[in-house]
Structure 1
Amino acid sequence: MANPASTLDVTSFIDRNRVTPFQVLIAVLCFLIVAIDGFDTAAIGFIAPSIRALWHLSPQQLGPVFGAGLAGLMAGALLFGPIGDRIGRKRLLLGCLLVFGVSSVAAAAAPSFGWLIALRFATGLGLGGAMPNAVTLTSEYCPARLRSFLVTTMFCGFTCGSALGGFAAAMLIVQYGWRSVLLVGGIVPLAMALVYVRALPESVRYMVNAQWPPARIAAALRRIDPNANLDGVAFSVADVSRGSSGSRIGRLFTPELRNGTLLLWLTFFMSLLLIYLLQSWLPMLLHTSGASLRTAALVTAMFQVGGTLGAIALGWLMDRLNPCFVLAVAYVLAGVFTAAIGHLTGSPWLAAISVFLAGVCVSGTQCGANALSAAFYPSDCRVTGVSYANGVGRFGSVLGSLAGGSMLAAGLDMPMLFSIVGMPAIVAGCAMTVFGFHLRRDEVALSPVAGVGH
């Protein structure tokens, strides 16, 4: 029971209460947003052979259709991240869903390859702003003791959406052509935006920082604890005090955040480079090795299935062990399993197992990295921190999406090619190891950041 006329830290309020259906609803709604990102990312890889055949493109000419969407994701994350800290998580999420939905529907009717590239960029803009805000909103309603597990479980929407994108593309392309995949991927977020106007709440921490009326804040907190006495209570957020009074982007480079920011950026860059390279080019690489398109699609889908299970397992471990070292070990294993794919392309079942294990380690670990970044940054610049980590990571995703064509054109054999592909995961593992020692050294300063100071 809160004491009238006292000051209540909303973070502590959320941490000491049990998880309620209201918080589960938020995680589910954000899960669906992230699933749209995963669906779109995977679907473009599966429709690429049809696009290539329609416009008679070489592998290198096909690269921009991957790169345009990913460049949009990068620009959207960098552009919309600070806006989410200014206008609120909910408003920006709704706007991003509309941008993405309209652009994807328009891309389904693209009359030329050039138009398709432009519309894929616009689609990426919407997705780039939506995903970091979804991660942040979920994180800000999760108690610290379960934050990594709940955020990584929510982020499984990406891997589930990616798996669904593969299965849906395999069916839709045969029945209705590749354009139907983009059409479905655009109609769904437009319908979601209409529902989310009423169903999605605003972050209670944002409301406190933005000085919303206490009655609105109290109403949100009573959905977590209906019996709380919040009459006359003044609300605060403890972790706002960290950082300078300057711009939100500038706060990422204050002395207590700078090293962590740079290490997170390196991790996201390497992790997303590997994920998008595999998602964009693995079907074609397997097809080049002699697998049918159907077999290639099914084997690649195992990457997302593994990522889903890996995210849940890693999130559970991150709440119990040092999260940085959990991620470091998983990244190193991801590099090993990725390299193994190149030696197993002649056996679809063995290749599927290796792809599954690579997904457990790298796609699952990326979910954990998002949870870690949301826990690392204070609430008044959290969307900016998560968005910029993802935005910098998108540079890696663009490089990965383009690298596949060049690697195919270079004529490398599959063992050598996949050994090279696995190297970014090793680098990400090293960055997470250094990050873990960095947090240990500054444990006292970082202890208010829930979920990090193990």
Structure 2
Amino acid sequence: MNLRERIDTSPMSGYQWLIIALCVVLNALDGYDVLAMAFTAPGVGSEFHLDGGELGLLLSAGLMGMAAGSLLLAPFADLFGRRPLILLSVGLATAGMLLSATSGSATQLALWRVLTGLGVGGILACTTVIASEYASRRWRGLAIALYTAGYGIGATVGGLVAVTLQSSQGWRSVFLLGGVLTGVVLLLLAALLPESVQFLLTRQPRNALARVNTIATRIRQEPLTSLQGMADAARPTASNRVGDLFTAAHRRYTLLLWVAFFTLMFGFYFVNSWTPTLLVSAGLTEKQSVTVGIMLALGGTVGAILYGLLTSRWDSRRILIGFAVLSGVAMALFISATATLALAFAFGIAIGMLVNGCMAGLYTLAPSMYETQVRSTGVGWAIGIGRGGAILAPIAAGALLDAGWTAGTLYLAVGTLMLVCAACVALSRPRSATGVAVAAGV
């Protein structure tokens, strides 16, 4: 068997789990960044005298940067390697966080938020691929689930840190700490993160054999004697352009994946941004609605890990479809359940678990849809299109509420979108004959 097949079928080594842990930390940076901005928004708005619309644009700046990073930076990882792009992206995020702390105006802060988001978008496109490629077939679902759970961990820590720090040191200290922590992570990555084995085998950059064998030794695999023939067997006819995602072999799966990511991220960000406000309108007190919001976050962390554990025994695609269908049903019933507080808490936990489990599932599925040479491009663009849904969700929900929609109608509509996501996943199973990687082993 070749090295890729051995990684798929062998027990996971400590070094492989270390790589997964680094990816979890990188995703936690996303969570810290998003929640840090949300919690510091009142202080920022007060200092710069911003109205609601201006503050909303500032909150969206980071998400816009993330979308741009996923779309624009990801293709370079397929040309020059996952590791260099990750290091560059983390460097951009570090600079963006540190510069945010020095902002003298809302315009400057928005610019640095876009820069931070650009880095985070590039990180997410590559770390999803790295985590997937270094996990064995049996534990790939759990590895991606742990990676996904990193967002919730970073968000929780980011929120707690923001509340504590800004009360004594001001909102700038939150970004300063984030920049310092991101810089420390950059140093750890430079020392510990390897290049993608699959990239080295197929692209064969300078000293590829020596680099592959160093990695093979670390993951307790026999070294290779030659790379001859491996590049020719795997090299595609296209040349790492976005257009490669629309060749005959990829077109259908690319479009289905884009719709799945868009609908899922729309639902994810709708639930996380609007639930407390809509629950108040449905009759809960502000304190009760915040508690349900916490239930969503806690359920999300559990749900991502639960998804991963289930995939170690059963087909990951079917579990993802099940999670998506159940999340749609739960959303449709959610508002009617608020008549009983305990039931509202239970539904909050369930929705958080299911939606985050879906996110873990799509992150697991996406790399399996593409060969090595277009994998980061494919994943990056899918995440970037999904970020469009994330940006649109809060804006669309607000506009629909102004147009007279009720909370129950909104949740029913978003629940329907989750069913669309499930349908796209069901239709996106690649045909092995096309050369597209199958879900069982990227």
- Taking structure 2 as the reference length, the TM-score comes to 0.89
Counterparts of residues 271-290 of structure 1 (less than 5 Å): 271-286=264-279
Structure 2 residue aligned with 1:184, among 150, 153, 177?
Answer: 177
- Aligned partner of 1:4 in structure 2 is none
Rounded Cα–Cα distance in structure 2 between residues aligned with 1:375 and 1:57: 44
Residue identity opposite 1:257 in structure 2: H
- Aligned partner of 2:149 in structure 1 is 156
- How far 1:32 moved relative to its partner? 0.2
- Aligned partner of 1:88 in structure 2 is 81
Alignment RMSD (CA, Å): 2.9
- Aligned partner of 2:395 in structure 1 is 402
CA contact (8 A) 1:239 1:449 kept: no
CA contact (8 A) 1:335 1:425 kept: yes
Counterparts of residues 407-426 of structure 1 (less than 5 Å): 407-410=400-403, 412-426=405-419
- How far 1:264 moved relative to its partner? 0.5
CA contact (8 A) 2:75 2:240 kept: no
- How far 1:419 moved relative to its partner? 2.8
- Aligned partner of 2:217 in structure 1 is 222
Provide closer, same or farther for how the CA distance between residues 300 and 46 of structure 1 changes in structure 2, counting only shifts above 3 A: farther
1:27-48, CA deviations, whole angstroms, 9 ceiling, x for partnerless residues? Answer: 0011100111122223333334
Rounded Cα–Cα distance in structure 1 between residues aligned with 2:172 and 2:402: 27
In the alignment, structure 1 residue 363 sits paired with structure 2 residue 356: yes
Show structure 1 runs of 5+ residues with no match: 1-7
1:320-356, CA deviations, whole angstroms, 9 ceiling, x for partnerless residues? Answer: 4443332222112222323444345576654333222
Q: How many pairs does the alignment contain?
A: 440
CA contact (8 A) 1:376 1:452 kept: no
- Aligned partner of 1:22 in structure 2 is 15
In the alignment, structure 1 residue 451 sits paired with structure 2 residue 437: no
- How far 1:72 moved relative to its partner? 0.6
SS in 2 for 1:78: helix
1:33-66, CA deviations, whole angstroms, 9 ceiling, x for partnerless residues? Answer: 0111122223333334444555565544432123
Rounded Cα–Cα distance in structure 2 between residues aligned with 1:443 and 1:419: 37
Provide closer, same or farther for how the CA distance between residues 49 and 300 of structure 1 changes in structure 2, counting only shifts above 3 A: farther
Rounded Cα–Cα distance in structure 1 between residues aligned with 2:232 and 2:346: 43
The 10-residue stretch of structure 1 (307-316 or 391-400) with the greater mean CA deviation from structure 2:
307-316
The 10-residue stretch of structure 1 (367-376 or 52-61) with the greater mean CA deviation from structure 2:
52-61
Provide closer, same or farther for how the CA distance between residues 274 and 338 of structure 1 changes in structure 2, counting only shifts above 3 A: same
- Aligned partner of 1:263 in structure 2 is 256
In the alignment, structure 1 residue 133 sits paired with structure 2 residue 122: no
In the alignment, structure 1 residue 116 sits paired with structure 2 residue 123: no
The 10-residue stretch of structure 1 (184-193 or 277-286) with the greater mean CA deviation from structure 2:
277-286
- How far 1:412 moved relative to its partner? 4.0
- Aligned partner of 1:39 in structure 2 is 32
Residue identity opposite 2:218 in structure 1: R
CA contact (8 A) 2:240 2:377 kept: no
- How far 1:241 moved relative to its partner? 3.1
Show structure 2 runs of 5+ residues with no match: none
Structure 1 residue aligned with 2:98, among 92, 97, 105?
Answer: 105
Rounded Cα–Cα distance in structure 2 between residues aligned with 1:419 and 1:53: 36
Rounded Cα–Cα distance in structure 2 between residues aligned with 1:240 and 1:284: 55
Provide closer, same or farther for how the CA distance between residues 247 and 96 of structure 1 changes in structure 2, counting only shifts above 3 A: closer
- How far 1:84 moved relative to its partner? 0.8
In the alignment, structure 1 residue 337 sits paired with structure 2 residue 330: yes
The 10-residue stretch of structure 1 (250-259 or 165-174) with the greater mean CA deviation from structure 2:
165-174
- Aligned partner of 1:3 in structure 2 is none
- Taking structure 1 as the reference length, the TM-score comes to 0.87
Rounded Cα–Cα distance in structure 2 between residues aligned with 1:446 and 1:56: 56
- How far 1:111 moved relative to its partner? 2.8
Q: Percent identity?
A: 33
- How far 1:393 moved relative to its partner? 0.8
Provide closer, same or farther for how the CA distance between residues 270 and 238 of structure 1 changes in structure 2, counting only shifts above 3 A: farther
- How far 1:373 moved relative to its partner? 0.7
Residue identity opposite 1:195 in structure 2: L
Residue identity opposite 2:395 in structure 1: L
1:83-116, CA deviations, whole angstroms, 9 ceiling, x for partnerless residues? Answer: 1111111111111111112212222343333332
